[in-house]
A and B are shown apart, each in its own frame.
Chain A
Amino acid sequence: MSASGTFGYGLEFSPFYDISRLGAVVVKGLSLLPTAGNAPQRIVETPAGMLNAIGLQNIGVERFVADVAPRLADAGAVFVANIYGRTIEEYEGVARRLSELPALAAIELNASCPNVKEGGIAFGSTSEGLSGLTRRVRSATKKPLWVKLSPNVTDVGKMARVAEESGADAVTLINTLVGLAVDHRTRRPKLSNVTGGLSGPAIKPVALRMVWEACKAVRIPVVGIGGIQSAEDALEFLLVGAAAVQVGTANFRNPNACVEIIEGIREFFAREKIARLDDYRGGILLRG
């Protein structure tokens, strides 16, 4: 599936392929009201990665419900809404509104965006914050609830367990790592927000380790994200226990990345005579 924030509202990819081929389209984070986002400059390229500080610019939940969701349903896409709020009440409001959409497959709680001062990471960086937010949104919706975790914590396994105990149906990780880029000549940060979220292949080893730790910590499905560019990358996440993967920054480089990865996994399983995902998933071989 696509990773939120890297796939727009999904329909942008229709010129490239049939988006119903994806396991799910996870749309850009939605807030109650339209959000303007951060001032430019919003992105910086880094070695094998990029920093972004978009600031969750989005069209707001009402326009999504009215304009986008019906078109995603018409396109045959399974779609998941990533949601964001400045307060717990805002998260609840967005979740309630989206729950009215029969076609919506799940809600992904963004408890980990590093680019906004309120909400996001403010809830996702402590056990208490994450638990309180997850419980309240859990009560506000009957839709499957996924919690997207931050890597900017000491013990991601513990945070995954907190999400599980608070009612999450799945955890997705990792969101971006907080980073900084400075121009040595102007002496200024390159991003207007000063810091941003690092994504791309540069973060894959960190993501893989954290997904592995989360898989050991919880019984609910873990969705792996972080630097996946190829079928081989995706297979590595499945090997450490992920039930599914999301592909993010790779979509910027290659609009066909998601479908090429799906095909690559299929070909690998056929070549290796692996009949079911569960015959491979979690099969990492450790010494000892």
Chain B
Amino acid sequence: MPSKATRFVHGRIVRNTGHGIFYRMEVSIPDRIEFVPGQFAMVSGWPGNDPLLPRPLAIFRAGGTRSRATVEFVYKVVGRGTALLSGLHDGDPLSITLPLGNGFDLGAPDRTWWLAGGGVGFSTVFPAGVALSQGKAEFEMFLGSRTRDQLPPREWIPGGDLPGRVHLCTDDGTAGFFGTVTDAIRERLAALSPPGRARVSILSCGPREMLSGIAAAAAAHGVPTQVSLENHMACGFGVCWGCVAAVRDGDRTAYRRVCREGPVFDAGEIVW
């Protein structure tokens, strides 16, 4: 079941602005929330019944004071729901259930964390970068997109306000590494010495092909990897059983809810 801290709230948009292919939306909510990086919210804010279901959005930041709390989301328009969200203005009301799901496990000490974000998957790994930075942990971030224009704005990228190293990757080579995040990670892992590899842990969110590629490369070198999955969701808090992913259960395949047992899974569990 959702944690005791999970709640359904009515909020209001403070700002909702486009930055290239991304939108960043700040929402005022009744009370300050605590969240684990990788957790998400179910958000709806359009009139009528079409589309019917709220949309899952990763929690990008949360802050404010007890009396003036805010939560932020970074999203990309991928369908009608997110298109409608992108058309909302300051002061418009939203309904939000949050925080939901299990986030990244940042508990292992003395690791070198590699944070891999493909496309809007950036918004899911970004809070992990913030948390690792606050804990003075060592991390590097790999951010990928098709072209330079589709990368997150520079000012959002840790390295500006966070002390981690950032590797930009573009499919067409217009910025940073010429290739995908998966290619970059595969190359870096191969180049590291065995003791260096033994310290690496990977956190990742992005297209399924990216996650399965990273999982395979990491498994080949015995590098622990957490993947944040996406799926069609109806409820977001574990009651509809619509969002399941296939996982290994001994020698069988079982189905686990992305919204409840996930969205973060050990990459080795997933049946890709």
Contacts and interface: CB of A to CB of B under 8 A. Distances in A.
Interface of A: 5-8, 11-16, 28, 36-37, 39-45, 47-50, 52, 54, 57, 200-202, 229, 249, 251-256
Interface in B173-205: none
Given A15-B7, A50-B52, A252-B53, A40 B244 contact: yes
Contacts of A7: 239
Nearest to A37: B255
Contacts, number: 105
Given A45-B52, A201-B52, A15 B244 contact: no
B36 interface: no
Contact of A57 (B53, B241, B245, B246): B241
Contacts of B231: 40-41
Interface of B: 1-8, 44, 49-54, 95, 97, 231-246, 253-255
A234 B215 CA distance: 49
Contacts of B236: 252
A252 B240 contact: yes
A180 B255 CA distance: 23
Nearest to A56: B241
A119 to B, nearest CB: 18
Contact of A252 (B1, B2, B239, B255): B239
Q: What 10 A-B pairs are tightest by C-beta distance, nearest first?
A: A43-B242, A8-B239, A252-B235, A48-B49, A12-B1, A252-B234, A15-B6, A42-B242, A201-B49, A255-B8
B248 to A, nearest CB: 13
A15 B243 contact: no
Given A44-B232, A45-B52, A12 B239 contact: yes
A36 B255 contact: yes
B243 A43 contact: yes
5 contacts: A7-B239, A12-B2, A39-B246, A52-B242, A256-B8
Nearest to A39: B246
Contacts of A253: 44, 52-54
A52 B253 CA distance: 21
A138 B245 CA distance: 38
Given A14-B1, A16-B8, A249 B52 contact: yes
Contact of A255 (B4, B5, B237, B246): B237
Contacts of A6: 239-240
A249 B239 CA distance: 10
Contacts of B3: 15
Contact of A42 (B1, B238, B244): B244
Contacts of A41: 231-232
Contacts of B243: 40, 42-43
B245 A40 contact: yes
A45 B53 contact: yes
Given A37-B255, A49-B52, A254 B241 contact: no
A15 B6 CA distance: 6
A4 to B, nearest CB: 11
A40 B52 contact: no
Nearest to B236: A252
A16 B6 CA distance: 8
A122 B243 CA distance: 26
